[in-house]
Amino acid sequence: MDRPDESPEALFQRTLHMDEGLARTLIVGGITTLEELAYVPIGELLGVQGLDESKAQLFRERARAYLLQDAMGNEDSDGTIDA
């Protein structure tokens, strides 16, 4: 579940188990929501400096899983997913 006062960087770190540097890289590259990370064309993700295809696929899958679990109300008590 998104927390209203949470920055995109903190959201990526909490929900996707992503390190701070990669979270910042995504934000600088224009990816600021889980929905964008999950559903933008892979080519757009690969255009983000410092993001290779394996990381793009991994975090895209985690974002999709989180969004699905959130929609179904099945997140862990700490707000993360098991990936």
Predicted confidence (pLDDT) per residue in 1-31, tens digit:
557 789 999 999 999 999 999 999 999 999 9
Pick the closest to residue 23 from 54, 51, 58, 57 (CA basis).
51
Higher pLDDT, 19 or 80: 19
8-state DSSP, 48: S
Pick the closest to residue 63 from 23, 6, 4 (CA basis).
23
Instruction: Specify whether the backbone of 19 is left (phi greater than 0), alpha (psi in -120 to 50) or beta.
Output: beta
Q: For residue 74, is pLDDT > 80?
A: no
Predicted confidence (pLDDT) per residue in 42-70, tens digit:
999 999 888 899 999 999 999 999 999 98
Question: Which pLDDT does position 70 carry in this prediction?
Answer: 86
- For the chain, which domains are there? 8-72 (1.10.150.20)
